[in-house]
Amino acid sequence: MQSIISVFLSIIMFFAPAANIPKAEIDDSGWNTRYENVFVHGLSGWGRYDFVYNIMPYWGVFGGDLMKYLTARGMKCHAASVAPSDSTWDRACELYAQLTGTRTDYGKEHSERCGHARYGKDYTGRPLVEKWDSENKINLFGHSFGGATVRFLARLMADGSPGERAATQDDSLSELFTGGKADYIYSITTLASPHNGTTAYAVGRNVRNNGGTAGEVIETEIMFFASRENSDGRIFEDSATYDMDIDGAAQINEKTGTVPGIYYFSYACSMSSKDENGRWQADTDGMEPLFVNSAKLICAYEGTSPGGVVLDETWQENDGLVNTISAKAPFGDPQTQFDKNSVEPGVWNIMPVYRGDHMSLQGGLLKNNNVRLFYIDHISMINSI
């Protein structure tokens, strides 16, 4: 999946218009913190440990590397590289290894139950950040499925894993599973993240089950939501596809919740509006062509998940891939509309809905979107808390 997108991006980069990005003057006089920022990509994405990032940065795309831009302005930023289509658990373990500069350990209990190797890539000697502890905290940003990744990492940092502690009777237990490190993370910001799953899977199944032609099977599901081929023998429940479907996301939410000392912010996106009859319609002008079919189908979809979640008209507003309601905050977590004068840890601060499609906060693709000032403003706000 990653190789498909890598080739796709390598081709279209030669045809995209150059971005005209204004420079920004940053007023840091009101900052109280200057923690480093770690950005985690979504499904089928890539980061600094992947070769394709040098050709096409996931963060900024044709507008240029967002990490370099922000770092040059006093906001140290790093792009993590987690598995394109693996589970929330596996991606969180990989993120921890990159942050600490250690070998990836998926855990004895998890790897044996899910049917894959316990150890993964080794990042010894090449950590994402120079120092990471309770004094040198980080701000985490997660785009799309990266939102679940950073939320899950925060929970493991706080509580560890009782299952891994029970199964690992020797000194090989990863420090990630011991818990007690919630104060290593200052804030979490999610960007167009399907906290409660996405109905993109359901509409894709409908197309296939109702005899749709190959052309009618939405491109976005093929490129972004296709199941991993379990060539390594792992169980389906240990995949991004499982975790991002409605019922799988509900299970993730039961395991995470907010951590009391961490600040939480969420941005949902929308490229939908209601017509004169009050029905949601996809706003395809200005939308990435990749998302047009799925946006229309999500706007028209109603149903019930196998687990009993009612997917009514409140789920129809979307950004082309993710339902807007799902990206606002995990159902059941404490949440409030953002008020800059009243920001409390342990509560989701729901930011104003961003007008854009699913890739807009990443920087766009064929539809270039200047998000540099957006991130300057948001990180400045976090630093000012």
pLDDT by 10-residue block (mean), the chain, 385 residues:
43 43 72 97 95 94 94 97 95 98 98 97 96 98 98 98 96 97 98 96 74 50 46 85 95 96 98 95 93 93 94 97 98 97 97 97 92 97 97
- To the nearest 10°, report the CA torsion of 105, 133, 334, 192: -60
Buried b (16+ CB within 10 A) or exposed e, 116-141: bebebeebeeebbbeebeeeebbbbb
Strand ranges for the chain from DSSP E: 36-40, 77-79, 103-105, 119-122, 138-143, 185-191, 263-267, 269-270, 272-274, 280-282, 303-304, 310-311, 335-337, 348-350, 354-355
As given in the structure block, the two tokens for residue 363 are 């920087």
- Helix ranges (H only) for 210-245 are 219-224, 240-244
Give yes or no for a contact between 63 and 95, defined as CB atoms under 8 angstroms apart.
no
Give yes or no for a contact between 299 and 284, defined as CB atoms under 8 angstroms apart.
no
As given in the structure block, the two tokens for residue 9 are 């991006």
DSSP 202-226: HHHHHHHHTT--GGGS-HHHHHHSP
- pLDDT for 208: 64
Give yes or no for a contact between 45 and 58, defined as CB atoms under 8 angstroms apart.
yes
Give yes or no for a contact between 120 and 106, defined as CB atoms under 8 angstroms apart.
yes
DSSP state of 289: G
- pLDDT for 142: 98
Rounded CA gap, 158 and 263, in Å? Answer: 14
Report which residue type is found at 227: S
Rounded CA gap, 162 and 159, in Å? Answer: 8
Rounded CA gap, 105 and 172, in Å? Answer: 9
Cα–Cα–Cα angle for 32, 33, 38, rounded to 5 degrees = 150
Q: Residues in the chain, how many?
A: 385
- pLDDT for 231: 54
Domains of the chain: 2-16+30-197+243-271+329-384 (3.40.50.1820)
pTM of the model: 0.91
Give yes or no for a contact between 321 and 220, defined as CB atoms under 8 angstroms apart.
yes
Rounded CA gap, 223 and 247, in Å? Answer: 21
